Amino acid sequence: MSLITPEIKKFLEKNKLGFVATVNSNGTPNISPKGTIISWNADTLAFVDIRSPDTINNLKNNPNVEINVIDPLLRKGYLFSGTCSILHDGELFNEISIHYRDIGVTSIINSIILVTLSKVSPVLSPLYDIGVSEIDMKSKWKNHFENV
């Protein structure tokens, strides 16, 4: 069974910004925003290293990662857990780089991080627990962002 359903794939196509959590060499957490998260296949996410020296160093020491991608208006999304491999060159690196160019990434790609997923969990705002609808949630946060 695939961890990345068609619904999750569509969600990631719309919501590119995620937060990648890694662990520093001293055991402390590190979180870094990434705007290039995609579903590469049914069980793998990818993101590119454009300017991510701390994330890359952390993943070299500990490949475990969690990634949180949330729709900022609907306040729902997914938490992805898995292990990473880092590509610097080769056929797969070139194939994925071409994909990123095709979807509009113009920055220099230093490396590509593949995340082999072990778990995907939905993330929902607690406001849904008390009956707030998606329409009301979206309206609330759209008004908030328009008036900031």
User: What is the C-alpha to C-alpha distance for residues 15 and 63, in angstroms, rounded to an integer?
Assistant: 24
* 3-state SS assignment for residue 120: strand
Strands 111-124 and 38-41: unpaired
State pLDDT tens for residues 106-143. Answer: 999 999 999 999 999 999 999 999 999 999 999 999 99
> At 118, phi and psi to the nearest 5?
-110, -20
pTM for this model (two decimals): 0.94
Domains of the chain from N-terminus onward: 6-146 (2.30.110.10)
State pLDDT tens for residues 8-39. Answer: 999 999 998 999 999 999 999 999 999 999 99
H or E element at residue 114? strand 111-124
State pLDDT tens for residues 43-99. Answer: 999 999 999 999 999 999 999 999 999 999 999 999 999 999 999 999 999 999 999
CA angle at residue 35 from 32 to 127, to 5 degrees? 80
Which strands form 18-23's sheet, in the order they lie side by side? 29-34, 18-23, 64-71, 76-87, 111-124, 44-49, 38-41
Q: For residue 67, what is the DSSP state?
A: E
The owner of tokens 């001293």 is 26
Non-local CB neighbours of 33 within 8 Å, separated by 6+ positions: 17, 18, 19, 20
